[in-house]
Structure 1
Amino acid sequence: MKVSPLVKTLLVGGIAALALTSCAANEGGSGEASDSQLSGALTGSGASSQGSAQEAWGAAFQTANPDVTVNYDPTGSGAGRETFQQGANAFAGSDRAFELEEIEAGPFDACAADSGLVEFPAYISPIALIFNVEGVDSLQLDAPTVAKIFSGEITNWNDPAIADQNADATLPDQTISAVHRSDESGTTGNFTDYLAEAAPDDWTEGSIESWPSAFGGEGAQGTSGVVEAVSNGVGTIGYADASRAGDLSTVEIKVGDEYVAYTPEAAAAVVDASEFAEGRTEHDLAIELDRTSTEDGVYPIVLVSYLIGCEQYEDPANAELTQAYFDYIVSDQGQQDAAEAAGSAPISDTLRESIQPAIDAIS
């Protein structure tokens, strides 16, 4: 197996992170220890958005299966996909599914020859628009206004486009400081995907994981960097995983004729209102999010993070452990454990029923 320099670096540099995740698992979690016959080590890596959830999942799974160690290194979605594809990990977490052309190019070294992929949404989180404007506790904005703020077309907080939607707010004559992720980010990808779908005339960059340098604004590393920059700035606005919004003010987003605040339930609702992507195999359950849905109670700016594995593994031990781990993660208990640890939105029973056959197919 040929391993890229990136993977070699991640395998060496990720040891400490893997050890920490393993330690978290050994410290226990929800559920009672069972008579499980499972044993061995299960290794995955990928989306940092899943980091807190993976710690909770690994801890609970370790409690139920004392002879199993689950290691998950939150190296980022792209790195997780690469290490999985090159066979360095049994599974990956990713803030997007593999593109069809990536699957066709292959190969996937952990999988048996001619095996398809198992991909499904496992972690759903609303992305909050957070802001810090003195004297303003809440805002309502539609998609075109959000797009113009982050592209630099709207530059002042008392701009008519903002004022017209917030008649009760006292908006200052103050420059807007829009904060974006400086690193390649699945959060950025999902946020810009919303802008591209809901405000195509005002956001022409498409869905991108790296912020366009031409738009300016203030860059910050990671979710924590964005939250810190918005918190400590003046007239700031940014986007971040809603679980990290803390005490910051947040924006209600216009959906149809109403403005909707983020909630786990509203985030899960937009996933259920969307369709599975076409052209994929039976157990490749990528979602085409309907960011323009006008259904009641949906919040369209969400991050949907996937778990990715093989239908058939080269190593039977990987198949057994991955199937059991995925089975727990999508269970009601697994989703509740993630919600408590990371503030994510549990998947619906309807989505779980669609996912279960894919997990059952792992061998």
Structure 2
Amino acid sequence: MKRTRAGLALVTATMAGLALSGCGTDDNSASQAAAGVTSGASDAACGGKSSLTAEGSTAQQNAIAVFNQVWGKACAGKNLSYNPTGSGAGRQQFIAGHVDFAGSDSPLSEAQVQEAADRCGQNPAWHLPLVFGPVSIAYHLDGVENLVVDGDVLARIFSGAITSWDDPALVALNPGSELPAIPITPIYRSDSSGTTDNFQKYLSAAAPQSWTKGEGSEFQGGVGEGAQKSAGVVQAVQSTPGAVGYVEKGFADQAGLRSAMIDSGAGVVAATDESAGVAIQAAAFEEEGTHDMRLDLRSLYGTKQAAAYPLVLVTYEIVCSNGYDPDTSAAVKSFLKTASNSGQDELSRAGYVRLPDQMKRRLSAAIDAIQ
């Protein structure tokens, strides 16, 4: 029977301070803040080869560092070299057979589905969600401690319809705050990014009248300044008064950036593990009865539920369901089992949210099915 290769992107940089493999990596010091990681007995057999390779999403980079350390403690000598080049690059490298799996915040495109099957020996590739986390609306606005935005305002900022911080729409959302009359500089990901894809899907769901630019891994807004990778967005926001950008909360927290709160219509909600967890409960699978675990997040992005922070990102490990050699298959399963069990206990340290129990059960079955 067919088994899914849930390849989890593991970072070479462990909490002990190992450097990430490859070039152009983001700063991984946030993941090292989880140095208190502990692990008991292994969650899975420690078979297969000692080293795995993966590439892709910068959003899951710090989570992968956590998983990599936990795996190395549970299975001595095991390590994953993860190159955080962005989701688009990761999917391409996986399809080309250059890495064992891809880390991606967006699923394979329709055209890539067949290309991935070709790479997997005419077996389908599966999307296995291992990490959830809130996406921060990080901003640089001196004197404004608690900024509130909503989907409509964000859509208009990132499409160029709102250009100044003292715009009446922002003033209405922030009574009592002194918003300065300075230009807004939107910061977006200039590389192919799953975070961009999720952000634009959020804008489409939360503000369909104001965001008509479309979706996808390339930014469609047409305004602002581009920056490479999550670390680049953080650096651009830090260095630009009046800037606002979207980036994973763990990176924003690590850099000491302020994160805006979002009002979806049922009250103002800050980006926290708890509020993101409330929103995640609204996520649904695109297909039932399959080990391919792609999620439909539109209901989550459009939620009006109280205490739910709607701008949440899911990152997948894209793996072959079959077609790996036995040593690779055993190692991928070992890593994924560890990451989806004891590895989840440490995610909050790096700014991520644990998988819901019902999702963990389905994920465990998918990992067991890998051949």
CA distance in 1, matches of 2:104, 2:274: 22
| TM-score under structure 2 length normalisation | 0.83
Cα deviations by residue, 1:312-337 (Å, 9 ceiling, x for unpaired): 23411121111111111111x21123
Shift of 1:266: 2.1
- Contact 2:94–2:116 (CA under 8 A) maintained in structure 1: no
Q: Of 81, 90, 93, which residue of structure 1 is paired with 2:100?
A: 90
Q: What are structure 2's unaligned runs of at least 5 residues? A: 1-18, 26-30
Aligned residue pairs total 339
What is the match of residue 239 of structure 2?
232
The verdict on how the C-alpha distance between 1:108 and 1:296 changes in structure 2, with shifts beyond 3 A counting, is farther
Moved over 6 A (4+): none
CA distance in 2, matches of 1:43, 1:73: 8
CA distance in 2, matches of 1:112, 1:235: 50
What is the match of residue 274 of structure 2?
265
The verdict on how the C-alpha distance between 1:353 and 1:296 changes in structure 2, with shifts beyond 3 A counting, is farther
Cα deviations by residue, 1:10-65 (Å, 9 ceiling, x for unpaired): xxxxxx843899xx9xx996325769652423222221222222222122212221
The verdict on how the C-alpha distance between 1:175 and 1:56 changes in structure 2, with shifts beyond 3 A counting, is same
Q: Of 16, 39, 53, which residue of structure 2 is paired with 1:43?
A: 53
Pair 1:148 & 2:151 matched: no
Pair 1:306 & 2:316 matched: yes
What is the match of residue 13 of structure 1?
none
Q: Which amino acid aligns with 1:53?
A: A
Pick the structure with greater CA Rg: 1
SS in 1 for 2:90: helix
What is the match of residue 9 of structure 1?
none
What is the match of residue 261 of structure 2?
252
What is the match of residue 179 of structure 1?
187
Pair 1:73 & 2:83 matched: yes
Q: Of 169, 181, 184, which residue of structure 2 is paired with 1:161?
A: 169
The verdict on how the C-alpha distance between 1:232 and 1:28 changes in structure 2, with shifts beyond 3 A counting, is closer
Q: Which amino acid aligns with 1:216?
A: V
Shift of 1:79: 2.1
Shift of 1:143: 0.8
Q: Which amino acid aligns with 2:38?
A: S
The verdict on how the C-alpha distance between 1:354 and 1:160 changes in structure 2, with shifts beyond 3 A counting, is same
Q: What are structure 1's unaligned runs of at least 5 residues? A: 1-15
What is the match of residue 321 of structure 1?
331
Pair 1:344 & 2:347 matched: no
Q: Of 225, 228, 231, which residue of structure 2 is paired with 1:221?
A: 228
SS in 2 for 1:151: coil
| TM-score under structure 1 length normalisation | 0.85
What is the match of residue 63 of structure 1?
73
Q: Which amino acid aligns with 1:187?
A: T
SS in 2 for 1:58: helix
SS in 1 for 2:69: helix
Q: Of 199, 210, 216, which residue of structure 2 is paired with 1:208?
A: 216
